[in-house]
Amino acid sequence: MFRKRPPPEEERRVRANDREYNEKFQYASNCIMTSKYNIITFLPVNLFEQFQEVANTYFLFLLILQLIPQISSLSWFTTIVPLALVLSITAVKDATDDYFRHKSDNQVNNRQSQVLIHGLLQNEKWMNVRVGDIIKLENNQFVAADLLLLSSSEPHGLCYIETAELDGETNMKVRQSVSVTSELGDPNHLASFDGEVVCEPPNNKLDRFCGTLYWRDKKYALTNQNMLLRGCVLRNTEVCFGLVIFAGPDTKLMQNSGRTKFKRTSIDRLMNTLVLWIFGFLVCMGVILAVGNAVWEREVGSLFQSYLPWDPPVDNFLFSAFLSFWSYVIILNTVVPISLYVSVEVIRLGHSYFINWDKQMYCSQCNTGAEARTTTLNEELGQVEYIFSDKTGTLTQNIMSFNKCSINGQTYGEVMDPLGTQPKRLDFTPFNPLADLDFCFYDEKLLESVKVGDSQTHEFFRLLSLCHTVMSEEKSEGELVYKAQSPDEGALVTAARNFGFVFCSRTPGTITIAEMGRSVTYSLLAILDFNNIRKRMSVIVRNPEGRIRLYCKGADTVLLERLHPCNQELMSITSDHLNEYAADGLRTLALAYRDLSEEEWESWSESHRFADKATDCREDRLAAAYEQIEQNMMLLGATAIEDKLQEGVPETIAVLSLANIKIWVLTGDKQETAVNIGYSCKMLTDDMTEVFIISGHTVQSVRQDLRKARERMIELSQTRDGGKDGGVEGWIESCFMSNGYKEEKGEDTAGGAGGGGEGREGAGGAKELPCSAAPAPNSNLMDSISGEFALVISGHSLAHALEADMEMEFVSTACACKVVICCRVTPLQKAQVVELIKKHKKAVTLAIGDGANDVSMIKSAHIGVGISGQEGIQAVLASDYSFSQFRFLQRLLLVHGRWSYLRMCRFLCYFFYKNFAFTMVHFWFGFFCGFSAQTVYDQYFITLFNIVYTSLPVLAMGIFDQDVPDQRSLEYPKLYEPGQLNLLFNKREFFICIAQGIYTSVVLFFVPYAVLSEATQSTGVPLADYQTFAVTTATALVIVVSVQIALDTGFWTVFNHVFVWGSLSSYFVIMFALHSQTLFRIFPNQFHFVGSAQSTLLQPVVWLTIVLATAICIVPVLAFRFLKLDLKPQLSDTVRYTQLRQKRRKLVGRSGGGAWRGMSSVSDGRLGTRGGSRRSGYAFAHQEGFGELITSGKNMRLSSLGLATFASKHSSSWIDTLRRKKNTHTPPNTSGECSPAPSYVSVSAPPLSNASSVLGGSQDTPVEEETVTAPALSVPTVQVSSTQTAPAPASEAAAPQGSTEATSASTIIATAVRSHGGDSPGGWTLSLGTLQEALFGRKGITARTGASNSPGLSKEMNQTE
């Protein structure tokens, strides 16, 4: 553990079969140790780590003070018992975790491996393997260390590996030895191998290795293709040999297992600040009481010196005050709660288990449940404002199918049937016995083109069958299985296979395909591999006739610009096809080829060989060589692959949007594909105010596009709001003057320097601006924009927008939009966008992705979520939470996240309240005991109060409490907003809790003091003694805090009842035991309160005092809460009130009482009906959900009309008002604004039905009905269930316009609705707008009417009638 670390390596030198040479470099052994402790070091190291916590160190300091007799008036065990308990719990947890790490380490280190030592193969444990050893691996064995592959039993030195433990990918990958060592297959030859490898030092890059092998006076370049990494498994290879390059902690697997950045929640940071404040408050109280002690000792205490002299060390009143200060620091230390941090961790652990156990987040298809991979961020899930999502594999399934293609200007795959019948799927079996039976294609024209021998079509599929890195495996005769590194490649090779060009097998130098039934073997001259920068892949092959040809496939943005000029006409047609495919949401690639002469190939091969063997800048040299040959290509066509949308994505995005969560999609796909995905996911809709597209390639053009977008937003917002505030021009002018856009006369801002200065002015508040007092840029004005806007920005534009002088302009524009889509972005840009929002917005961010390219984004966000999909588990390994479907995100946030935040806030509020109520009694007592640091309570009560009497009830509340059920949390997304605004626990709430605690302490001290000072027993003996007062005050305290937590608990479980009432009972049991004569006889010096409990609690006046103190403490709290509920209810209060009314009306209905009666025969009316979509049909083959209904508000209901009472009485939205006051840099959701409720319903509004939601909500709580004077109004609920009900037929959903208007006119004649059941004697007026705004913040809500829209409605009507 304390071994001196060797200096960092600049390069690594390894000589085969020479341990003495290699040991002088002090390379790490192959023994891994992920554990932190051993038996000897556990106690000191663990205690050292625990005392890094400020709170633990503080209490250790108090313990030392308590050991000084002149200071402490409390026994040492009052501090050491809680401290030891906290330290022990943490130590047991750490020891358990480390035990399992030890167990795992031992299992791995003791695996057996065959090592070549002195020419003989010997079995050695993995932990004894050293750098420079040669290891023999057999089929299905794990690779023991990072090896250089020397030879293999397969031809050409090939071997196959599976890298699931490294990157989660289960498909096989091929590795090849250097040709010069591939013949060293015999152990005797390998024993004489003395080659030396010089390579890069240990690093964590799994896909990169650079080194050189020196042997027999020659050098050979080494790449990642020559390496077998620890954690891989050898597959389909009988035997191979490898040279150990990196061992143990130096292997890439262990280098990647380093700890990720520790993430803390906002509540953690606030809690640390509050604890420091409390400590400051403690010091202030100590100073006040010390000053009081000095004054008392000088003025009064001196009179008692003759018979109460000071203790020997004290010789004056100042020294007495000094000691008194430290004594009170000890006594009042419980305001800084020692058990707070441990309790918080226990609660978070419970919340994590709830996430892991949630069956509704379990995917049966993948056999994967949700997993909380961290326990520190649960409450942060209830505060998310921005979600950054990948597209492929996150919103889509990442299961690819070949859908369309363009060959030589002719498009295939569009099947238009005039009769509207389902087109017939092509049967490839008669044409091609090797066809994949699962492949679907419908256009016969393409198959006919292949059959007639069209040369361009044949060349197209020949390219697809040759230009890839797929591995084939023949399971049985004629049954080929492809192992592809990406689903795209697998889909393209499968398409070529079905159309007659079957990829059969490959070797390092050849590719064999079956062309129209004829086997053809091509010589593979070079592979120009794909990466995120090149965005293309090429192969160079020689056909049997000797002709050399380069085949290339890649993104159209990079491939089309490398074509020969003669392709202009074909490129124009193909580009149109690519745009059509992208508009259909398909993933596109362009295909091209180039013929090479022998001379061109030889010349380029030499430069490529030189670049490949370079030891410095090798990758850059190779990229330049690839760029040189991939020019002047001939266009063949393009492919379009369909990636199906995941189930429930539109509904999830709609619900999250209603919760005021902004969703940004960051994808590498082209703009058209990303935009169409946006429409399919219902992020973008035709009802949006405007969609802005930023696609400039220069700084100036991007700046101009962003400026125009902001101007347009403000203009449309002003028009929408009626042209207030002096008109559009004045607003725009003030807006951009404050942003540094108001140009000075004669100033040229067109140049790059001017642009940079402009951005700096905007970011810093330029001194030349008239409105320089305004913050940069115009955040207040942008926040007040109303309307639904979307922003689409390309990777080129984003690169400029992320520059320092323009980032504020991008942030202000993007954050004013409801949806942002960034396309063609790199993994680094994804992380930069997340960091930008974290930097400029005080908002919690969440990133969700499924692939390795999302890891940086996931690690950058406050919360990272990984989806275990088709791209391995690298995203999952880097994440904080993981599950298998995007739709589970709404439950993670709206249910678990909201509950965790609510529970943690209630826990903290109560925790601080009870500690101040408990401790401040000592403060008041100090003024009545001569500031002598005498405690009010028995010392055992002080010890047990926090760890026995009050610990379990607050833990039960923190783990199990909920304000509304999970179904209601999903039905009413607006319930999520208090967490975003941090309303439930902040500095204001903290001071309210402290004030309540101080008030309680005043009552608990002065009421017993006032009563008992004059009270007497029935025998006439006075009750005004210290011990009676202590027992009375302690009993009142325990009862008051128990009643208080009973009031604070919103959801009672068996655990809550047992813990609350059990803790209260335990107080009396323990108190009577501690005050018993038995303990006093055994320990007469420790138990001074003998008989106090029995004698005190037998007096009626004591119980009267306790009841009086409890009433004075609790009644104001009850009164305040009732007034708040009546005058300013929160949405959660309203939802709970609705549930109570539902239950009450169900009972009344069952007993024959009246029920809400509405009109079930009205027509289906719509508000703001969408026009026909301007977009073409979307190609995603997924079940149509209810996302469109949710986003338009057409399928929302109010569970009870009783909810309208609150909405109409308290119509202003307190949440949105607070949002504007707090200036959270978030544009107000116009759908969330609530205006005063009018006393009428607009004539233009069609009638709203009583139809229940498509889901039906809770089946046991149907929409109640009662006889009214006007048709009952229905307000929406959100579709949340994963079980989807089939929508009503169009014939039932539609209604004649005339009948709608007629019914609408008749509906609004009577607007006053009076409750039948008599909850309120007076009438009340209902406003549709008020209900919509109060519940969902949506103004333009369209409702469905007619019983036919809900299967359960007719039945419900019949029952209620």
Q: What is the pLDDT of residues 1207-1243, one digit of tens each?
A: 333 433 445 544 554 444 444 343 333 333 333 333 3
Contact residues for 1229 (Cβ-Cβ < 8 A; gap 6+): 660, 1216, 1337
Q: 768 to each of 704, 734, 754, 773, 1149, how far by Cα in Å? A: 21, 15, 14, 11, 72
Q: Give the pTM.
A: 0.69
Q: Which residues are catalytic?
A: 390
Q: How confident is the model at residue 562 (pLDDT cuts 50, 70, 90)?
A: very high
Q: Is the pLDDT of residue 1038 over 90?
A: yes
Torsion of CA 697, 699, 703, 709, to 10 degrees: 10
Cα 523 to the center of its chain, rounded Å? 49
Kindly report which listed range (17-26, 640-649, 698-707, 798-807) carries the lowest average pLDDT score.
640-649
Q: Is the pLDDT of residue 495 over 90?
A: yes
686 sits in the region (left: phi over 0; alpha: psi -120 to 50; else beta) called alpha
SS3 772: coil
Kindly report which listed range (150-164, 566-580, 992-1006) carries the lowest average pLDDT score.
150-164
Q: Is the pLDDT of residue 667 over 90?
A: no
pLDDT of residue 1052: 92
Contact residues for 372 (Cβ-Cβ < 8 A; gap 6+): 351, 352, 353, 355, 356, 378, 880, 881
Q: How confident is the model at residue 262 (pLDDT cuts 50, 70, 90)?
A: low
Q: How confident is the model at residue 461 (pLDDT cuts 50, 70, 90)?
A: very high
Neighbours of 772 (CB within 10 A): 16
Mean pLDDT of 1117-1132: 88
Mean pLDDT of 1142-1171: 47
Q: In this structure, which amino acid lies at residue 591?
A: L
pLDDT of residue 247: 93
Q: How confident is the model at residue 1160 (pLDDT cuts 50, 70, 90)?
A: very low
Query: Which one is predicted more confidently, 878 or 572?
Result: 572
Q: Measured between alpha carbons, how far is 34 from 11 in angstroms, rounded to an integer?
A: 25
Mean pLDDT of 128-140: 92
Q: What confidence tens digit (pLDDT) does each residue in 898-921 have? A: 999 999 999 999 999 999 999 999
Mean of the per-residue pLDDT values of the chain? 77
Which runs of consecutive H residues, i.e. helices, occur in 747-824? 752-764, 779-783, 795-801, 807-815
Q: Is the pLDDT of residue 722 over 80?
A: no
Tokens of residue 30, six digits:
């192959």
Q: What confidence tens digit (pLDDT) does each residue in 956-1003 have? A: 999 999 988 998 899 999 999 999 999 999 999 999 999 999 999 999
Residue whose tokens read 């000029």: 565
> Based on C-alpha coordinates, what's the Rg of the chain?
38
Q: How confident is the model at residue 1182 (pLDDT cuts 50, 70, 90)?
A: very low
Q: How confident is the model at residue 179 (pLDDT cuts 50, 70, 90)?
A: confident
pLDDT of residue 614: 76
SS3 197: strand
Kindly report which listed range (11-20, 58-67, 552-561) carries the lowest average pLDDT score.
58-67
pLDDT of residue 333: 84
Residue whose tokens read 């006594």: 331
Q: Is the pLDDT of residue 1302 over 50?
A: no
Strand 789-794, strand 819-823: pairing: parallel
Q: How confident is the model at residue 1314 (pLDDT cuts 50, 70, 90)?
A: very low
Q: What share of the chain has pLDDT > 90, as a percent?
A: 33
Query: Which one is predicted more confidently, 1261 or 254?
Result: 254
Q: What confidence tens digit (pLDDT) does each residue in 86-132 have? A: 888 888 878 887 888 888 888 889 999 999 988 888 999 999 999 99
Q: How confident is the model at residue 784 (pLDDT cuts 50, 70, 90)?
A: low
pLDDT of residue 550: 95
Angle at 1268 between CA 1266 and CA 1274, to 5 degrees: 70
Mean pLDDT of 466-482: 79
- Between the ranges 23-37, 169-183, 1072-1086, where is the mean pLDDT highest? 23-37
Query: Which one is predicted more confidently, 74 or 412?
Result: 412
Q: How confident is the model at residue 439 (pLDDT cuts 50, 70, 90)?
A: confident
Kindly report which listed range (623-627, 912-916, 1122-1126, 1327-1331) carries the lowest average pLDDT score.
1327-1331
Burial label for 606, CB within 10 Å (0-12, 13-18, 19+), is exposed
Q: Is the pLDDT of residue 702 over 50?
A: yes
Q: Is the pLDDT of residue 732 over 80?
A: no
Q: Is the pLDDT of residue 1250 over 80?
A: no
Tokens of residue 396, six digits:
């889509």
Q: Measured between alpha carbons, how far is 734 from 730 in angstroms, rounded to an integer?
A: 6
pLDDT of residue 418: 56
Q: Which neighbouring-strand residues pair with 642?
A: 401
Q: How confident is the model at residue 363 (pLDDT cuts 50, 70, 90)?
A: confident
Instruction: For residue 237, give the nearest of 157, 335, 154 by alpha carbon.
Output: 154
- Between the ranges 362-371, 391-400, 459-468, 859-868, where is the mean pLDDT highest? 459-468
Q: What confidence tens digit (pLDDT) does each residue in 856-885 have? A: 888 889 999 988 866 667 778 778 899 988
Mean pLDDT of 770-786: 51
Mean pLDDT of 1129-1137: 85
Kindly write down the DSSP assignment for every residue of 1254-1306, as one continuous string. Answer: SS-SSTTSPPP-EE-SSPPP--------SSPPPPPPHHHH---HHHHHHHHHH
Query: Which one is predicted more confidently, 149 or 1160?
Result: 149
Q: What share of the chain has pLDDT > 70, as a percent?
A: 76
Q: How confident is the model at residue 1200 (pLDDT cuts 50, 70, 90)?
A: very low
- Between the ranges 632-636, 963-967, 1259-1263, where is the mean pLDDT highest? 632-636
pLDDT of residue 1053: 92
Query: Which one is predicted more confidently, 693 or 1186?
Result: 693
Q: Is the CB of residue 1275 less than 8 Å from the CB of residue 1250?
A: no
pLDDT of residue 118: 84
